[in-house]
Structure 1
Amino acid sequence: MSPHHPVSSAMADLIRNAAIEVIPLKGAEEKVKAVPAGTTVTITCSPKFGLERTLEHSAQAARAGYRVVPHLAARQVADETELRDFVGRLTDLGITRLYVIGGDADVPAGKFSEAAEILEALSGMDHGLTSIGVGCYPEGHPKIADEALLTALRRKQPYAHYMVSQLCFDPAALVAWLRRTRESGITLPLHIGLAAPMNTRKLAELSLRIGVGSSLRYLSKQRGLVGNMIRGDAYQPERLLLGMGDALTDPDLKVSGIHLYSFNQVEATVDWQRRVTEQAA
């Protein structure tokens, strides 16, 4: 498939309006300047950097005119007081969106150990949040059984407005999972988690690190990953969307957005968005 293969107007709209995920590393605020004004920028949350770093970078992005979605990891929140303080600071910044995850910390900071517990606590608070997202795992989780993941998604559904999928490179696997999930009663709109265009070798390393090895094996067989790594070619994100076919716009499957995992390759991500949408059929 040619890297210049035109996408449909519906797909172009999804790509054009995609949220771009940024990791709050040193210098990230400069990288974000490459993003067009008004774009949705999500700021990750990890045990390495803590909640304060997420808030700092969220504040910078909000002041720069972006629609900001901070991530909040349940395992980093000590108690309701800290949770109330976190969302209160978002309100002060004019931020009304939040993405809630369980988090990677081995030991919880306090009483919260999963996203559903944060959502339930938020439901009893007076806050200004108007949109809350949660995670989902089309190819499973290396440490959590599939049935437990589905149970957790059912528990989160009453409090959330959409779900974001973990990285996946296999369009057939993504569509099959989405159909099963809809049949199981999950109606949350899906934002497809899509890897940004980056050097294939780096993408392979990152993917193995976050536990999407089975999808990476698909990519290696179907897309010539080894050859791409040797040549230093870049991964083309639109291939997954094109591979989904009519499922991408099937109203029953409720794909409503795209979440771009930029891995802080922000300029390349924005350039890809521009190039692909300009070629829309």
Structure 2
Amino acid sequence: MIHIDKPGPASDITEACSLEVNAKDMPALAAAAARIATGSTISIPYLANQDNEARLAAARAVHELGFEPMPHLSARRIASLAELQAFVERAVAEAGVKRCFVIAGDPSTPAGPFADSHSLIDTGVFERAGIQVVGVGGHPEGHPVMNAADRWAVLERKCRSIEQRGMAPWIVTQFAFDADIVLTWLQALRERGIEHPVRVGVPGPAGVAVLARYAALCGVSACASMWSSYGISIGKLFGTAGPDLFVDRLAAGLTAAHGTVSLHFFPFGGIAQSVGWIAQYRARAGHGHAGAQRRA
């Protein structure tokens, strides 16, 4: 069972997982809801082909299912401060939203006054509306437009601003295929004194061709060596792959020094498939379910 109220310790990496669910996939989430623990975090991405009403409807649906909605906000796609404020206030009032995730967004030219995610944080809209947690992106495999020094500086600045405003930062990474790269990044993160909870992005089980397509769309590295690290043979592009090897290597490499780490699933192969994979993995690993609150 997926349970996310608080991220778990590194030794129990599958105890706390979150899911990223498109607004159009709410029926699939509802169908799988009985297998997901009450209070689990459901992240709602900000997609260009969906408007704010669709995002708010999705947040309400997540809340009504007994989960914690975490809508994304794409800075460069927001046209005005009034739009940002209205969305956040309605999300809190109508869907009980306590958590948001902020990103810069893909457009090179902002639609309004916000050039990056930090500019959203600086408005003060989130804390005034009652938001308790603000998620920000982590990039273990690099960033398409920022060098390493800039990436660290930006991450530190955002986390510091969130804390200063009385909220809790979460760091959520893009999905990756090489656990060793993620472990190295986590070590560097902690060595810089950034101790906030991290949710490591993991692709849910899906066809290899589907994974390759999403990797290309999201700018995720997927060279032959990384496919191999993930347990995929280049000659088997028509097969299906799960994150077993990735999660095994990540869990085995984590120590107390890595701090609070959990998993964030991108269910590219379907929500039911990801939820089923998590249950099977935990059963295989021998994790108990004591204390988990099952839904009726």
TM class, shorter-length = 0.7 to 0.9
Q: What is the aligned-residue identity percentage? A: 26
Q: 2: CA distance between counterparts of 1:91 and 1:169? A: 35
Describe the shift of the 1:52–1:245 C-alpha distance in structure 2 as closer, same or farther (beyond 3 A).
Answer: same
Equivalent of 2:184 in 152, 166, 176: 176
Q: 2: CA distance between counterparts of 1:66 and 1:122? A: 25
TM-score (norm 1): 0.86
Q: What are structure 1's unaligned runs of at least 5 residues?
A: 1-8
Q: How far 1:227 moved relative to its partner?
A: 3.4
CA contact (8 A) 2:190 2:259 kept: no
Q: How far 1:194 moved relative to its partner?
A: 0.6
Q: Structure 2 counterpart of 1:55, which letter?
A: L
Deviations 1:152-207 (A, max 9, x none): 10111121521011111111111111212222332222111111111112101211
> What is residue 133 of structure 2 aligned with on the other side?
131
CA contact (8 A) 2:42 2:69 kept: yes
Describe the shift of the 1:63–1:189 C-alpha distance in structure 2 as closer, same or farther (beyond 3 A).
Answer: same
Instruction: Indicate the larger mover: 171-180 or 139-148.
Output: 139-148
Q: What are structure 2's unaligned runs of at least 5 residues?
A: 1-7, 163-167, 287-296
CA contact (8 A) 1:247 1:253 kept: no
CA contact (8 A) 1:76 1:110 kept: yes
Q: 2: CA distance between counterparts of 1:138 and 1:91? A: 31
CA contact (8 A) 2:10 2:251 kept: no
Deviations 1:40-93 (A, max 9, x none): 211110222233322221111112222211111111222322222111112212
Q: How far 1:269 moved relative to its partner?
A: 0.6
Q: Secondary structure at the match of 1:163?
A: strand
TM-score (norm 2): 0.82
Deviations 1:73-130 (A, max 9, x none): 1112223222221111122121111111111233312110111111111368512111
Instruction: Indicate the larger mover: 196-205 or 31-40.
Output: 31-40
Q: 1: CA distance between counterparts of 2:110 and 2:125? A: 21
Asked if 1:218 is matched to 2:221, the reply is no
Asked if 1:190 is matched to 2:198, the reply is yes
Describe the shift of the 1:245–1:40 C-alpha distance in structure 2 as closer, same or farther (beyond 3 A).
Answer: closer
Alpha-carbon RMSD across the aligned residues, in angstroms, is 2.2
CA contact (8 A) 2:198 2:262 kept: yes
- Structure 2 counterparts to residues 199-238 of structure 1, below 5 A: 199-213=207-221, 215-222=222-229, 223-230=231-238, 232=239, 234-238=240-244
Q: How far 1:16 moved relative to its partner?
A: 4.2
> What is residue 293 of structure 2 aligned with on the other side?
none
Q: How far 1:13 moved relative to its partner?
A: 4.4
CA contact (8 A) 1:21 1:262 kept: yes
CA contact (8 A) 2:19 2:42 kept: yes
CA contact (8 A) 2:205 2:268 kept: no
> What is residue 121 of structure 1 aligned with on the other side?
123
